[in-house]
Structure 1
Amino acid sequence: MDFDFSDDQEQLRDAVRKYVDKGYTFDRRRAAEKAGGFDAAAYAELAELGLTGLYVPEDDGGMGMGPIEGMVVMEELGRGLVMEPLAQSLIAGAVLAGYADAATRTAWLPGVASGEKLVTLAYQERGSRYALDAIAGKAHQAPGGYVLNATKSIVAAGDKADAYIVSAKVNSVMGLFLVERESAGVSTRGYNTQGGGRAAEVAFKNAPATLITTQGQAALEHAVDIGIAATCAEAVGVMDKTLDITAEYMNTRKQFGVAISSFQALRHRMADMKMQLELARSMSFYASLKLNAPAPERRAAMARAKYQLGTSMRFIGQQAVQLHGGIGVTDEYIVSHYFRKLTELELSFGDTLHHLGEVSARMQDTAGVFA
């Protein structure tokens, strides 16, 4: 199998890396975090690069690209700790293109592709513990469409989004619905996330909604799997940069008159971090390559990948802080922000223990040493 990236993919990586290095500095990020965790100008810049339309078909105004291009982009955004929720645009583009009717596609996909419309996934509820079918939200038909009642938690950029893709039950079947933020009955409470970004609690009270699909379980699983693959790729970028920062620090920090990078015990710890990074990178590749596989195979692959990524994120984040010493947890120093981001990503779309359970639940009778 050929794992080399194409010329177009390498050019895409180069373009995103140049933008992050020059246009998304650490000072700009810190200012955006203090201002609320969402920079509309930065999101518009991502749209100018065409990234918000990555998964939107060309006929609908997007770039019509696939999972590998998404992985390449998310890795580079992870290296720069870009807070704007591009993964949500990937999810929205794929869900609306794959499940919505023609009228809904025409109304929303061009705006998603151009960055004029931010559509985010609202599916988590208190007490659901990452279970996708544990929802209390309900929708029912009304004159002119549907009305929806639900409360969703940790909605990415929830008080900044233009609309939401919301999971709710209709006639005992899960459906996905599109609800505009400015609609009657929608209220938001925004806050900063641990990683510095923006999220919100969003309440829908008899809010008018457009039905996307009644195949809600399958569509939501697909949406979450896109989110998992994007999170894995972003985490690889965060870990890669964390390793670079730690190596640079060890080459400059001196004790007993020599750089601490010369201490064998610390070099071994750096080697262990590099090994965890490469394990994570290979599983991120695996997740992206499996995004278009049949649902059972895709779901199993995402659980395996997220489990390994969670393990690697925890190890690399903790080791980086320990190798830096006290400076590693100060807000003024960059590595603490990488550590916080890794902590947030480990919890996104299911934490490590959740996905270990998912891996276990999907094991076949032939699994194990006695197969």
Structure 2
Amino acid sequence: MNFDFSDDQNQLRDAVQRWADKAYTFERRRAIVAAGGFSREAYGELAELGLCGLVVPDTHEGMGMGPIEAMVVMEQLGAALVLEPLTQCLISAAVLSQFAPQAVQAQWLPRIASGQALVVLAQQERSNRYRLDICKANAAVANENHALTATKNIVPAGDQADAYLVPAMLDGQLALFLVERSAAGVSTRGYGTQDGSRAADVRFDHAPATLLTRDGLAALELAVDVGIAAACAEGVGVMDKTLLLTADYLNTRKQFGVAIGSFQALRHRVADMKMQLELARSMSYYASLKLSAPPAERRAALARAKVQLGQSMRFVGQQAVQLHGGIGVTDEYIGSHYFKKLTQLELSFGDTLHHLGEVSARMTDTAAVFA
């Protein structure tokens, strides 16, 4: 098999990297964090690059690309610690393209592709932990539409988004709805998160909702799997930068008159970091390649990938802090922000322990050991 990237994919990576190096500096990121953790201006710049429409079909004014291009982009955005939630564009485009009625696709997909509309997944509830089949939100038929009542927590850019993808129970079955933030009965409470980005608790009180599909669990599983693949790619980008930063520090910091990078014990720890990074990179590729697989195969593959990425992100982040010493946790130093991002990504879309359970639950009786 050929795992080399195509010329178009390499050009896409280079374009995103050039934008990040020039336009999304650490100083600008700090200013965005201070202003609340989300910049509509920066989000618009992502849209101008075509990234918001990356996986939107070309029939709806998108670029019509696939999971590998999305992975390439998310690696570079992770390396630059970009706060704006492009992952949510990937999720909403995938779910709407596969599950929404044609009229809804025609209304929303072009707006997502152009950056005019930010549609985010509002799935998390306090009682469901990472379980997708547990949902207290309820929807009922109201006139010719539906009315939805729910409280969703830690919704990415929830007080800045234009609409939400909301799972809720309808006639005893999990369904998926689209609710606009401007709709009656929608209220938000925004706050900053650990990595400096923005989230919100969103309350729906008999809010008007558009039914996307009654097969809500299948749609929600796809949404989460796309999110996992994006988080894996983003984590690889962050770890790449973390390793480079750590190696540079070890070659600069001196003790007993020599660079501490010459100490064999520390070199071994950097080698272990590199090994974990490459393990994570290969599993990120695996995750993106499996997004097009049948649902059962896809779910198992994404759980495996998230386990490895979780282990790698924790190891690389912790080793980087220890090798830096005190400076590794200061807010003025970018290394601490890499560590925060890795910590948050490890918890996103299910933490390592949760996905270890998912992997275990999907094993066959022989666990693939015997024929």
Matched residue SS, 1:366: coil
Matched residue SS, 2:28: helix
Matches within 5 A, 1:14-53: 14-53=14-53
Matched residue SS, 2:125: coil
> Which residue number corresponds to residue 134 of structure 1?
134
Percent same amino acid among aligned pairs? 71
CA distance in 2 between counterparts of 1:122 and 1:348 reads: 13
Q: CA RMSD in A?
A: 0.8
CA distance in 2 between counterparts of 1:6 and 1:337 reads: 32
CA distance in 1 between counterparts of 2:358 and 2:263 reads: 40
> Which residue number corresponds to residue 97 of structure 2?
97
Is 1:74 the counterpart of 2:60 in the alignment? Answer: no
**Partner amino acid, structure 1, of 2:5:** F
> Which residue number corresponds to residue 149 of structure 1?
149
CA distance in 2 between counterparts of 1:204 and 1:334 reads: 38
CA distance in 2 between counterparts of 1:247 and 1:188 reads: 43
Matched residue SS, 1:341: helix
CA distance in 1 between counterparts of 2:29 and 2:144 reads: 43
Aligned length: 371
Specify every segment of 5 or more residues in structure 1 that has no aligned partner in the other structure, as ranges: none
> Which residue number corresponds to residue 222 of structure 2?
222
**Partner amino acid, structure 1, of 2:65:** M
1:152-201 Cα offsets, whole Å, 9 max, x none, are: 01100000000000000100111110000011100100111111101000
1:248-296 Cα offsets, whole Å, 9 max, x none, are: 1111110011111100000000000000000000000000000000000
**Partner amino acid, structure 1, of 2:204:** F
TM-superposed deviation, 1:34: 1.0
CA distance in 2 between counterparts of 1:34 and 1:307 reads: 33
Matched residue SS, 2:83: coil
Specify every segment of 5 or more residues in structure 2 that has no aligned partner in the other structure, as ranges: none
> Which residue number corresponds to residue 168 of structure 2?
168
Matched residue SS, 1:31: helix
CA distance in 2 between counterparts of 1:146 and 1:368 reads: 46
> Which residue number corresponds to residue 187 of structure 1?
187
CA distance in 2 between counterparts of 1:202 and 1:310 reads: 28
Q: Structure 1 residues 368 and 6 mapped into 2: Cα distance closer, same or farther (>3 Å)?
A: closer
Is 1:312 the counterpart of 2:312 in the alignment? Answer: yes
TM-superposed deviation, 1:370: 6.2
> Which residue number corresponds to residue 297 of structure 1?
297
**Partner amino acid, structure 2, of 1:330:** T
CA distance in 1 between counterparts of 2:283 and 2:152 reads: 30
TM-superposed deviation, 1:128: 0.7
Compute the TM-score of the two structures, normalised by the length of structure 1. Answer: 0.99
Matched residue SS, 1:195: coil
TM-superposed deviation, 1:368: 6.2
> Which residue number corresponds to residue 212 of structure 1?
212
**Partner amino acid, structure 1, of 2:71:** M
> Which residue number corresponds to residue 274 of structure 1?
274
1:121-146 Cα offsets, whole Å, 9 max, x none, are: 00110021100011000101111310
CA distance in 2 between counterparts of 1:73 and 1:369 reads: 36
**Partner amino acid, structure 2, of 1:252:** T
Compute the TM-score of the two structures, normalised by the length of structure 2. Answer: 0.99
TM-superposed deviation, 1:102: 1.3
1:19-66 Cα offsets, whole Å, 9 max, x none, are: 111110000001101110001111000000000001110010100100
**Partner amino acid, structure 2, of 1:115:** G
> Which residue number corresponds to residue 333 of structure 1?
333
CA distance in 2 between counterparts of 1:126 and 1:173 reads: 20
CA distance in 2 between counterparts of 1:257 and 1:108 reads: 62
CA distance in 2 between counterparts of 1:18 and 1:316 reads: 25
**Partner amino acid, structure 2, of 1:110:** P
Moved over 3 A (4+): 368-371
> Which residue number corresponds to residue 285 of structure 1?
285
> Which residue number corresponds to residue 252 of structure 2?
252
